[in-house]
Structure 1
């Protein structure tokens, strides 16, 4: 195995190489130049305030962050969700001169309203029965709409957090939604391929269009004239909001599912991103004007234009939010944060003669949430440094779910084996830990051997 340690061509042993790769996965690489750098896990969404002063990001590390756009400093970190945060939107501030409020939605099935000035959680919005994946705020800031994999759209009062209505009609998971700029309708789309419109004046809901493929993302122009969709068939579609006719269909440039779309406020530019890691900016034609490979390790999950349309912000799987000029695709900070390639542990290690090397392969999914040493970036799970002999739920500084508070379980070879044998949900009912099991006793033994060496 050829390592990346020291001079080019420096060779390391298989185990050292595996540990180095996993350390890169768990700890990350210091940024060369900061865009929005603060999450310890993939970023699922980015939003820009209407005045362009603030950015907000939502991450897989159960965290949302409010930022200064000008300085890129973190202003407030919002802790409270018990699972990954999928989307964030801005609400008007509590009073003039204060930072705006925010609303976030999460895999934990809730939406939450926050005071952006203090990070205080103002309301927890409950009612969805599955993960909530999208959120939108009405133009006047008085209502919130959320989309969930429970196949519903819910409308909430932004002041009190009370449920206003539950909108049912989708036959599968709802993936995204928007308010029309005049506030008269909500438009939603989802896995069933339906685009549905929900009049808020008491009128009857209707199917706006049907694509035939799962729709992952929606965006609407500031004048309300066009709607843009991104779907699993690698296609971006542009719709006329007045006639419901499809105006354009752009399918060739993306090499995988389209995960996110955005429209500039005046509707002159469209941006799209997908699983292949490419950000495209379109103007009037069927071919993109700018194509950038913005993410070394797959998946652009969220895009947002600045209010003026001169910048595009992109979020994705390597935990950094970057920004570019829409005129020429150049980074607005001179040099964008260096891509952080997350090297995959070689599948060949699964068949190694060394149980520790085999265990390093079993750890590959755990590395998304857990660092192996002290001092790494915050992630959705605590560091595993010094794991063996430590009581479950006791790692200092980490906010554990109630399921682990006061636990008497101590991490040993036997209890780690049991965790992956029966699953975290059985060992700690109510935990926010992802449900992962290793049904093969040999795989569990290998993982334990790896953890014993890697966390000591």
Structure 2
């Protein structure tokens, strides 16, 4: 799931589904807007971005090996990003140091592609590793050094700097279990954190610089399928996680303590965060949960 703001200020959410479309929701009244079509298989991932001229973009990626870039307001297709040879399972967007909006796509074919969203052309190729460990997150973990993270089979985190293409290594000390997802976060005090989720339900917080494990977050009965990070109103770095156990948990990443837990009516599929709450996707439907600590 991804969120954006329309040109008139309307808050929007976009969520992929298993009937080859992406659904857009108007969050001001929780109503359904026109659906994005164009994929020939399931939509696995969505993201949003903003061009330098203010145009809001919606990016969808699917099992048809294609990534489509659209004008969010009109739904018009701007680019079809082709280059992967297997299904595209993840897409993230952020701004390069020179101000260019970039898209980063992950696929089961292993190499990670970086795209210029203005031109629709590939910008970089980041080498992948084994299929089991191709769990990256494209995220500006440190504002001074936006990077893509990949994890090798030996549990080494590789940070690939977007500005230079150079990479650095950090071994996560004491990591066990097969990793399902990895996220990055820059804490308010400047510390770069890595959060890993394994298929056994274990979630761990690490210092990206040293590889030291800071916390183990225990609370879910099954694996974490999605997580977002946010800074609370009191300045605390938080993580929100969802799981097939039908719970959503808010964690304080400094202390490792649980801040809040929500019991969900259905098995969650996607997660996003707004200014004052959390959006949970159940297939094509979304639900909003307000939190007083955001």
Aligned residues: 276
1:127 aligned partner: 83
Q: Distance in 1 between matches of 2:103 and 2:221?
A: 34
Q: Distance in 2 between matches of 1:326 and 1:193?
A: 35
2:198 aligned partner: 231
Residue of 148, 161, 165 corresponding to 1:199: 161
Q: Distance in 2 between matches of 1:314 and 1:146?
A: 23
* Partner deviation per Cα, 1:227-279 (whole Å, 9 max, x = no partner): 3222212111222234332221113x211111111111465221111222211
Counterparts in 2 of 1:52 and 1:196: CA distance versus 1, 3 Å: farther
Alignment of 1:191-270 (within 5 A): 195-210=157-172, 211-221=175-185, 225-251=192-218, 253-265=219-231, 268-270=237-239
Give the TM-score normalised by the residue count of structure 2: 0.82
Residue of 101, 111, 136 corresponding to 2:57: 101
Contact 1:56 1:66 in 2 (8 A): yes
3-state SS of paired residue (1:138): strand
CA RMSD of aligned residues (A): 2.8
3-state SS of paired residue (2:131): coil
Compute the displacement of 1:149 (Å): 1.2
Q: Distance in 2 between matches of 1:190 and 1:104?
A: 27
Give the TM-score normalised by the residue count of structure 1: 0.55
1:92 aligned partner: 50
Question: Is 1:187 aligned to 2:142, yes or no?
Answer: no
Q: Where in structure 1 are there 5+ consecutive unaligned residues? A: 1-45, 330-456
Q: Distance in 1 between matches of 2:207 and 2:168?
A: 16
Q: Distance in 2 between matches of 1:303 and 1:189?
A: 23
1:320 aligned partner: 285
Bigger share in strand: 2
Compute the displacement of 1:178 (Å): 2.0
Counterparts in 2 of 1:226 and 1:187: CA distance versus 1, 3 Å: same
Compute the displacement of 1:83 (Å): 0.9
1:278 aligned partner: 247
1:177 aligned partner: 137
Contact 1:185 1:199 in 2 (8 A): yes
Compute the displacement of 1:60 (Å): 1.6
Compute the displacement of 1:154 (Å): 0.8
Counterparts in 2 of 1:56 and 1:286: CA distance versus 1, 3 Å: same
Larger relative contact order (Cα-Cα within 8 Å, sequence gap ≥ 6): 1
Q: Distance in 2 between matches of 1:114 and 1:121?
A: 4
Misfit runs of 4+, over 6 Å: none
Counterparts in 2 of 1:229 and 1:83: CA distance versus 1, 3 Å: same
Counterparts in 2 of 1:137 and 1:207: CA distance versus 1, 3 Å: same
Question: Is 1:302 aligned to 2:276, yes or no?
Answer: no
Contact 1:295 1:316 in 2 (8 A): no
Compute the displacement of 1:221 (Å): 3.2
2:262 aligned partner: 292
Compute the displacement of 1:162 (Å): 0.9
Counterparts in 2 of 1:229 and 1:303: CA distance versus 1, 3 Å: farther
Q: Where in structure 2 are there 5+ consecutive unaligned residues? A: none
3-state SS of paired residue (1:188): strand
